[in-house]
Amino acid sequence: MDHKDIWQNPQPKEETTKDNSAPVLNDPQLGPSEWHKSYPLAQGSRQSPIDIVPARAVFDPSLRPLVVTYESCTSLSISNTGHSVMVEFEDTDDKAAISGGPFQDPFRLKQFHFHWGRTHSQGSEHTVDGKPFPCELHLVHWNGRKYATFGEAAAAPDGLAVVGVFLEIGKEHSSMNRLTDALYMVKFKGTKAQFGGFNPKCLLPLSLDYWTYLGSLTTPPLNESVTWIVLKEPIRISEKQLEKFRMLLFTSEEDQRVQMANNFRPPQPLKGRVVRASFKA
């Protein structure tokens, strides 16, 4: 399977419909449920996302507060990866990093991206008590003290740390406008634009209370290399802001257009893992 077409294959199949008119497009819903055929790890023991059941999460007093130091971050570009929109950062040092929490070392910020639904009733990857949110932000970090490159870290069981932030519909998020206003530049798969001077600290909620567990990337190759930090408190964006995400396309300019939405993987089995909470329920 082509990594770029993991949600669906927008290229028409060779077969045509009975009246030999337009070719049948592959069903976008065939994405995640088919991944195990090309990536057996999809059925591994620490796959993400999961459904977080707060009542079953274990409060762990040894978990420290999460420390986010993004003051010196340098955003470089915004791009349409073919399965999300991504903002990348300079990651040559630990200036923009997270620390504290369950971590011994700081983890440096590499990129952030989003997952969202076609409607408000779904979109997030993690769910809480079975309830999805319309959108989820993932801030991806790697351990630059222990590993030489992001690729090396992404292959190691303790190499990555991803902060998940739920988005719900409410009043407009003023800091999000700079981002949603830039989406038109990366409408098509494979497009990229310069995007400097954006600090994602503005996308974090006031409370950094979190759940944490050992998991994986949620898109192929699904490496089981992620310590997840899922923030309890969501942020709010307006309906209009979320609609701008839905104007993005899974497809390149020359392909038949397929709206980018429902680019989330459903929750995976916990398989005996414990979800720890930094706060008392």
Mean pLDDT for the stretch of residues 119-136: 98
- Name, in order, each residue with C-beta under 8 angstroms of 92's C-beta and a sequence gap of 6 or more: none
- pLDDT of 160 reads 98
Q: Which residue has the tokens 């980018």?
A: 260
Q: Is 83 a catalytic residue?
A: yes
pLDDT band at 31 (very low <50, low <70, confident <90, very high): confident
Give ∠ CA 91-5-263 in degrees, rounded to 5. 75
- Spatial distance between the Cα atoms of 38 and 138, rounded to a whole number of angstroms: 24
As given in the structure block, the two tokens for residue 157 are 């069981």
Catalytic-labelled residue, pool 3, 36, 83, 113: 83
CATH number of the structural domain 3-8+62-265: 3.10.200.10
Residue 190 backbone zone (phi > 0: left; psi -120 to 50: alpha; other: beta): left
Domain segments of the chain: what residues? 3-8+62-265
Q: What's the confidence (pLDDT) of residue 279? A: 98
pLDDT band, very low/low/confident/very high, at 21 (cuts 50, 70, 90)? very low
Confidence at residue 233, expressed as pLDDT on a 0 to 100 scale: 98
Q: Which of 6-15, 146-155, 251-260 has the lowest mean pLDDT?
A: 6-15
pTM of the full predicted structure? 0.91
Spatial neighbors of 162 by CB under 8 A, at least 6 apart, are 138, 139, 140, 141, 226, 227, 228, 229
Across the range 106-123, mean pLDDT stands at 97
Phi, psi angles (nearest 5°) of residue 211:
-105, 145
Mean pLDDT of the chain: 91
Nearest to 218 by CA among 27, 79, 84: 84
